[in-house]
């Protein structure tokens, strides 16, 4: 176990029954995506200095083997985790492996670092038969461990957040979990989070506050004289609209486009007219707005001719849009979980979607018809790419494998195995004879795309993944075994550092420019041969999680997740 309290590799280990996988996925993403308030970063707590982010979090993504003990991977995760979060339900209370993970964590001397999240059932339900509810606590949670880590008969008092309806609720439960991980009081975390969410509202001018006060007084007066109050309210809303438009125009002059957009969106809808639309377009010239649903978008891709684009979202639905006017063309239903990846075939006639339900669907891009379903991965699909002919597809998954598929019959033709870290994505070589995969530790492997044989490994890869094939084509035969050859490619420019966390990037087809997106809601365009950034893209009010560039390099689309 690490010698000091801040040296753990993982901020937390999430233990749960795989029947509660949706809760595990939500909690994992919520914790890793949480931005710690600046006011508490660096503060000394019983767990060491408060970090900037609670990243990474360990979540068991694989079914445990049929054995008498925990797997080496799970035991290593428990040893190197600062906290253990137990998702408590009747499923986890009956799970042998959840109970074993708790006992192992207590044997490591960390029983005061266990936090519970109740999602179903009843705490100590076995002792309350009159409620007719199942027990939610695994047995090991309910008893104190001695100095040797063995469970005693002394009852424990688990620290628990309760996400059940009528209890803490989902949002407050998350705040309690975050408070326990950071060692900072719940009230302070909650208040700082509320303050951060309300900060944008604070930029409203004194005129808007005055008008809001007038509207409040008019609402009180309406009790005595409804007709006059309605007329006065309408007049106040019209004044508020004019004030918001004027405020947006002032923000636009200052090139503060995000605040200008927010001011326009706060203007009453029924008074919106030509000037409103003109200003919205002026401060967002780079945006085509896709409207019609309220779920977070997780993936997006342009068609080769730029005419349409496809999005994959949290509601397990993919949608095809007109890329010029944002009109919804087709709704693609068939997945059972969030759609993590989407891609067009080179000819634009087919679309592939990969999902958290472990399947890939192939669709007709013209009419949205489902053509095929590919099954074989054992965990979420996180990327997929067609070959240059459109006849094959390479997919990557959190099961640490990449797979190559023949789309003529939906058959898996090769499995690329041996990755020690989670894969980021994979591509085919231009001639389709090889495939390359890259893992989260920036290690690239090149494979024979026919039989899945590993050809060589590249350490610490920085440029676009496509560059490995261009470099490999000009290399002289290596004098060392292929799996140890190093195709080092020197980066052409170093981009300046930012306080915000880099979430994703995309290169133009000629690789002369790169767009980076950050969790602070900003995006920047860079020229690879120089720095600083050429331009800053603004307009989102939430976190930006990914970016895609159109085939001609003229347009870019960014996706922003709806805040919790």
Residues 401/406/411/414 CA torsion (nearest 10 deg): -40
Report the C-alpha gap between 400 and 426 in whole angstroms.
12
| Residue 346 is assigned to a structural domain of this protein | yes
Half-sphere exposure of 239 (CA within 13 A, CB side): 15
- Whole-angstrom Cα Rg for the chain: 27
**pLDDT score for 343:** 95
Q: Are residues 53 and 177 in the same domain?
A: yes
* Contact of 385 with 393, CB cutoff 8 Å: yes
The pLDDT of residue 378 is: 94
d(CA 554, CA 508): 9
Cα separation, 533 vs 525, whole angstroms:
6
CA distance 452 to 430: 17
Q: Each residue of 505-531: pLDDT tens digit?
A: 565 666 566 566 555 556 666 654 554
User: 45 falls in which pLDDT band (50, 70, 90)?
Assistant: very high
Q: Give the CATH number for residue 178.
A: 3.40.50
Distances (CA, A) of 271 to 14, 236, 274, 276, 478: 49, 12, 10, 9, 70
Which of 485, 466, 468 has its CA nearest to residue 477?
485
Domain residues for 132?
12-198
pLDDT at 497: 44
Distances (CA, A) of 503 to 347, 410, 560: 29, 33, 11
Q: How far apart are CA 542 and CA 523, in angstroms?
A: 12
- Residue where a domain stops, chosen among 446, 472, 494: 494
Same domain, 40 and 187: yes
Residue 61 has pLDDT above 90, yes or no: no
Closest CA to 331 of 377, 304, 296, 292: 292
State the chain's mean pLDDT as an integer. 80
Q: Which residue has the higher pLDDT, 316 or 477?
A: 316
Assess whether 21 and 170 both reside in one domain: yes
Looking at residues 13-17, what average pLDDT do you find?
Answer: 94
CA distance 170 to 175: 9
Smallest CA-to-CA distance from 356 within 20, 59, 21 is with: 21
Peptide bond between residue 188 and the one before it cis (omega within 30 degrees of 0) = no
Q: Which of 144-153, 435-444, 469-478 has the lowest mean pLDDT?
A: 469-478
CATH of the domain at 539: 2.40.10
What's residue 464's pLDDT? 62
Residue range 489-501: average pLDDT?
43
Model confidence band, residue 71 (pLDDT cutoffs 50, 70, 90): confident
Output helix, strand, coil percentages for the chain, rounded to the nearest 5.
Answer: 30, 30, 45
**pLDDT, tens digit (0-9, with 9 covering 90-100), for 176-202:** 999 999 999 988 888 888 877 776 556
- Say whether both 215 and 364 belong to one domain: no
Give the range with max mean pLDDT: 152-156, 186-190, 297-301, 413-417.
Answer: 413-417
Domain check: are 439 and 331 in the same one? yes
What does 27-93 look like in DSSP terms, one character per residue?
HHHHHHTPBPPTTTTT-EETTEEPPSB---EEE--SPPPSSSS--HHHHHHHHTBS-EEEEESHHHH
Which is higher by pLDDT, 90 or 229? 90
Indicate whether 218 belongs to any domain. yes
Please report the pLDDT score of residue 421 as a whole number. 86
Buried b (16+ CB within 10 A) or exposed e, 348-372: bebbbbbbbbbbbbbbebeebeeee
pLDDT greater at residue 69 or residue 105: 105
**Residues 427 and 519 both lie in one domain:** no
Phi, psi of 509 (to 5 degrees): -55, -35
Number of H helices, E strands in the chain: 11, 31
Assess whether 113 and 260 both reside in one domain.
Answer: no
- Kindly indicate the confidence band of residue 370, based on its pLDDT and cuts at 50, 70 and 90: very high
Q: What is the distance between the alpha carbons of residues 125 and 143, in angstroms, rounded to a whole number?
A: 15
What mean pLDDT comes out for the span 416-422?
A: 90
- Round to whole Å and give the CA distance between 503 and 181: 23
As a whole number of angstroms, the distance between CA 373 and CA 332 comes to 13
Which residue among 478, 494, 510 closes a domain?
A: 494
pLDDT of residue 563: 40
HSE-up of 159 (CA within 13 Å, CB side)? 16
Residue 381 β-bridge partners: 397
The residue out of 181, 198, 215 marking a domain boundary is: 198
Helices (H), 254-319: 257-265, 274-283
The whole-number pLDDT of residue 221 equals: 63
Both tokens of 558, joined, read 């960014």
Rounded to the nearest 5°, which phi and psi values hold at 102? -65, -45
pLDDT value, residue 216: 74
Q: How far is CA 462 from CA 383, 467, 476, 525, in A?
A: 19, 10, 21, 18
Please count the structural domains in the chain.
4
Q: Which residues contact 44 (CB under 8 A, 6 or more apart)?
A: none
Q: Is the pLDDT of residue 295 over 80?
A: no
- Residue 503 backbone dihedrals phi, psi, to 5 degrees: -100, -35
Token pair listed for 348 = 């634009």
In a domain, 292, yes or no: no
Could you give the 3-state DSSP secondary structure of residue 388? Answer: coil
* Threshold 0.75, pTM exceeds: no
Q: What per-residue confidence (pLDDT) applies to 194?
A: 81
Q: Residue 462: which pLDDT band, with cuts at 50, 70 and 90?
A: low
Using the CB atoms, write b or e for 549-562: b if 16+ within 10 Å: bbbeeebbbbbbbe
- pLDDT at position 23, please? 95
Establish if 111 belongs to a structural domain.
yes
Average pLDDT, integer, range 259-282? 84
pLDDT bucket at 4, cuts 50 / 70 / 90 = low
Torsion of CA 195, 196, 201, 202, to 10 degrees: 70
pLDDT at 493: 42
Cis peptide before 56 (omega within 30 of 0): yes
pLDDT of residue 488: 37
Phi, psi of 461 (to 5 degrees): -80, 135
Asked, for residue 190, whether it belongs to a domain, the answer is: yes
pLDDT value of position 541: 52
Contact at 8 Å (CB) between 311 and 288?
A: no
**Mean pLDDT across 113-141:** 90
Give per-residue pLDDT as tens, 137-183. 999 999 999 888 788 999 898 889 999 999 999 999 999 999 999 99
User: Is there a single domain that holds both residue 368 and residue 489?
Assistant: yes
Q: What is the pLDDT of residue 332?
A: 95
Are 63 and 157 found together in one domain?
A: yes
pLDDT at 538: 55
CATH of the domain at 393: 2.130.10.10
* pLDDT at position 479 over 70: no
**Share of residues in the chain with pLDDT > 70 (%):** 72
What integer pLDDT is reported at residue 201 of this predicted model? 56
402, 477: one domain: yes
Element holding 343 (H helix, E strand) = strand 339-344
Q: Indicate whether 336 and 475 sit together in one domain.
A: yes
Residues 515 and 489 in one domain: no
**Where residue 440 falls among pLDDT bands split at 50, 70, 90?**
confident
Q: Is 199 exposed, middle or buried (0-12, 13-18, 19+ CB in 10 A)?
A: exposed
Residues 6+ apart with CB under 8 A from 21: none
């Amino acid at each position: 176990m690490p010698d000091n309290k801040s040296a753990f590799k993982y901020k937390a280990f999430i233990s749960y029954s795989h029947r509660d996988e949706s809760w595990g996925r939500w909690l994992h993403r919520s914790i890793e995506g949480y931005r710690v308030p600046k006011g508490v970063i660096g503060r000394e707590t019983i767990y060491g200095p408060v970090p900037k982010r609670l990243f990474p979090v360990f979540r068991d993504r694989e079914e445990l083997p049929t054995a008498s003990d925990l797997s080496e991977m799970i035991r290593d995760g428990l040893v190197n985790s600062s906290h253990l979060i137990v998702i408590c339900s009747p499923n986890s209370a009956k799970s042998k492996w959840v109970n074993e993970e708790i006992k192992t964590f207590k044997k490591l001397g960390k029983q005061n670092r266990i936090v519970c999240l109740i999602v179903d059932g009843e705490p100590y339900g076995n002792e309350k038969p009159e409620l007719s509810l199942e027990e939610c606590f695994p047995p090991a949670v309910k008893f104190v461990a001695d100095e040797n880590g063995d469970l005693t008969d002394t009852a424990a008092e688990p620290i628990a957040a309760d996400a059940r309806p009528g209890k803490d609720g989902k949002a407050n439960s998350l705040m309690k979990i975050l408070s326990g991980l950071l060692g900072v009081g719940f009230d302070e975390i909650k208040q700082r989070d509320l303050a951060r969410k309300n900060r944008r509202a604070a930029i409203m001018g004194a005129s808007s506050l005055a008008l809001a006060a007038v509207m409040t007084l008019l609402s009180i007066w309406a009790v005595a004289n409804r007709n006059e109050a309605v007329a006065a309210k309408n007049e106040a809303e019209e004044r508020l609209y004019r004030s918001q438009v004027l405020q947006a125009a002032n923000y636009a002059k200052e090139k503060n486009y995000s605040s200008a957009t927010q001011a326009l969106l706060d203007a009453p809808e029924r008074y919106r007219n030509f000037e409103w639309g003109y200003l919205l377009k002026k401060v967002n010239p780079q945006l085509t707005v896709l409207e019609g649903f309220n779920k977070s978008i997780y993936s997006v891709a342009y068609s080769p001719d730029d005419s349409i684009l496809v999005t994959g979202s949290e509601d397990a639905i993919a949608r095809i849009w007109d890329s010029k006017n944002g009109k919804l063309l087709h709704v693609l239903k068939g997945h059972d979980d969030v759609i993590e990846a989407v891609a067009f075939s080179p000819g634009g006639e087919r679309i592939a979607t990969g999902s958290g339900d472990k399947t890939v669907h192939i669709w007709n891009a013209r009419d949205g018809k489902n053509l095929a379903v590919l099954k074989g991965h054992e965990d979420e699909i996180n990327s997929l790419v067609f070959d240059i002919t459109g006849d094959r597809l390479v997919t990557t998954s959190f099961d640490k494998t990449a797979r190559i598929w023949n789309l003529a019959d939906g058959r898996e033709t090769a499995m690329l195995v041996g990755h020690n870290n989670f894969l980021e994505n994979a591509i085919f070589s231009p001639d389709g004879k090889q495939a390359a995969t890259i893992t989260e530790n920036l290690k690239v492997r090149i494979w024979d795309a026919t039989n899945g044989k590993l050809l060589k490994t590249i350490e610490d890869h920085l440029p676009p993944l496509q560059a490995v094939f261009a470099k490999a084509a000009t290399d002289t035969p290596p004098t060392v075994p292929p799996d140890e050859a190093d195709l080092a490619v020197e980066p052409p420019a170093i981009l300046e550092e930012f306080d915000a966390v880099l979430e994703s990037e995309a290169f133009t087809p000629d690789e002369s420019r790169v767009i980076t997106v950050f969790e602070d809601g900003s995006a920047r365009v860079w020229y690879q041969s120089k720095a600083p950034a050429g331009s800053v893209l603004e307009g989102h009010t939430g976190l930006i999680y990914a970016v895609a560039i159109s085939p001609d390099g003229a347009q870019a689309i960014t996706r922003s997740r709806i805040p919790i």
